[in-house]
Amino acid sequence: MAKRIAIVEDDPDQRANYKDAITKKGYEVVAFSNRQEAIDAFENQLPDLAILDIILGEEVDAGFQICRDLLSRSPSLPVIFLTERINEIDKISGLRLGAWDYLPKPISLEYLAERISSLLRIDEARTNHEEKSTTTKHIGELALDQTALLVSWQGNRIDLSGTEFRMLAKLVRAPGHAVSYETLMNATMQSLVTNNTINTHMRNIRKKFEKADSKFSHIKSEYGFGYRWIQ
């Protein structure tokens, strides 16, 4: 069965172009022009992945509201923000909400389709994950499955986005050694990344670990330089 992709975009031309490009890749696509229309549809059926603009009509933060609603229903659902709002505050807000990616407009339709495919592959690998994996790396009570981009702590699964996983993998490559902001930026595989963006990702990662273990304290900040994983 084809994966179901939801697009929420108020510009009719952009909405049609996105839908056409993604449909040609073999996905089932549903498109909505406003927040309420999307929320009503999600009451009946959730998508496998959602692409959200932030400003929808007169609602300047509609995309953020939709993201909150979706992730309250399905916390591991892949969400992509695709928007003209590319200032750092907005990007940080999107990441804090739990979005997997934050892409600026305009965007290549081919790149968008490939980004969707990449995130769905990660999601599917997680869904089909088997406990005994030959690609799992163990660092103390931490386990990282390099294929499924899955993390567990003390045997409890931690749902990180692909970007968060890559940053964590870079951080724990040499436990005890400080990892620079520049190295962590490269690990995100994203453009428009600043120190504050990295700090936001790290806060998100910490919170997810602390939810599983209230005493978690293995990620240390190195002021002005980066971060360190402490065993």
Is this prediction's pTM over 0.75? no
Q: Are 77 and 126 in contact (CB under 8 A)?
A: no
Fold adopted by 131-229: Arc Repressor Mutant, subunit A (1.10.10)
Answer yes or no: are the C-beta atoms of 10 and 53 closer than 8 Å: yes
Per CATH, the number for 4-126 is 3.40.50.2300
What distance in Å separates the CA atoms of residue 50 and residue 8, rounded to the nearest whole number? 8
Return d(Cα 116, Cα 95) in angstroms, integer.
17
Domain ranges of the chain: 4-126, 131-229
Q: Where are the alpha helices (DSSP H) in the chain?
A: 12-23, 35-44, 62-73, 88-97, 109-127, 162-171, 181-188, 195-212
Question: What are the pLDDT tens digits along the chain (231 aa)?
Answer: 899 999 999 999 999 999 999 999 999 999 999 999 999 999 999 999 999 999 999 999 999 999 999 999 998 899 999 999 988 888 888 888 889 889 999 999 999 999 999 889 888 877 665 444 556 889 999 999 877 778 999 999 898 888 889 899 999 998 999 999 999 998 887 767 889 989 999 999 999 999 999 999 999 999 999 999 998
- Check if the beta carbon of residue 209 is closer than 8 Å to that of residue 229: no
